[in-house]
Structure 1
Amino acid sequence: MAVMEICIIPIGSKETSVSKYVASASRILKDYDVKHELNPMGTVIEADPDKCFEIARKMQEEVFKAGSDRVYTVIKMDDRRDKNYHMEDKVKSVKSKL
């Protein structure tokens, strides 16, 4: 299981607000049975790495369909194989050390 954070930035849109583009990309997640969480700077997805990349590509295409002429996408992925863990476990681990 992998945890991926994706941040999709439309470039070349006429407005400074990007929430409509974020919403269009986020709608893709309804088609997948994956754990995900929207945050102020991106979306975190928990799934098999191949599924993560498939979702990322579809999310990016949705931003183009929403009217952006250029899309800049940043992906960070943690693919841990030594134990079973979830996205909230990562946060809990750090908080327990504070």
Structure 2
Amino acid sequence: MAIVEVTVIPLGTGTTGLSSYVAGCLQVLEQATDIKYQLTPMGTVMEGELPRLLELVSQMHEQPFLAGAARVSTTIRIDDRRDKPGTMQGKVASVTGKLAAPGGTD
């Protein structure tokens, strides 16, 4: 399972407000019942099989164009760990567990 962070930035929109474009991208994910996702202030993190996540990123990238953007810049970060299963929740729990332990970190 992979974890992908994606940021879709519409350009040439004529406004500095982008939340309606973000909402359009998230509608793609709301329809995808086979993945988990989390909206963050600066992007969206998704968890699932990598080919499916890349398919969804492509659909998300297309949404601002459909809403009238003249240009779209999309940034993708992929964490594809194959030695053991990884999840968004597991990554966060690993760090917070180390913060709570005596000595703080490894």
TM exceeds 0.5? Answer: yes
In structure 2, how many angstroms separate the alpha carbons of the residues matched to 1:54 and 1:45?
12
Q: Would you say 1:92 and 2:93 are equivalent positions?
A: yes
2: CA distance between counterparts of 1:90 and 1:30? Answer: 23
Offset of residue 31 of structure 1: 2.2
Return 5+ residue gaps in structure 2 as ranges: 100-106
Paired residue for 1:5? Answer: 5
How many correspondences in the alignment?
A: 98
- Cα distance between partner residues in 2 of 1:16 and 1:85: 36
Alignment of 1:14-29 (within 5 A): 14-29=14-29
Deviating runs (4+, > 4 A) in structure 1? none
Give the CA RMSD over aligned residues: 0.7
State the SS of the aligned residue for 1:96: helix
Q: The residue matched to 1:85 in structure 2 has which SS? A: coil
Report percent identity of matched pairs.
44
Offset at 1:22? 0.2
Whole-Å separation in 2 of the counterparts to 1:61 and 1:29: 13
SS of residue paired to 1:5 = strand
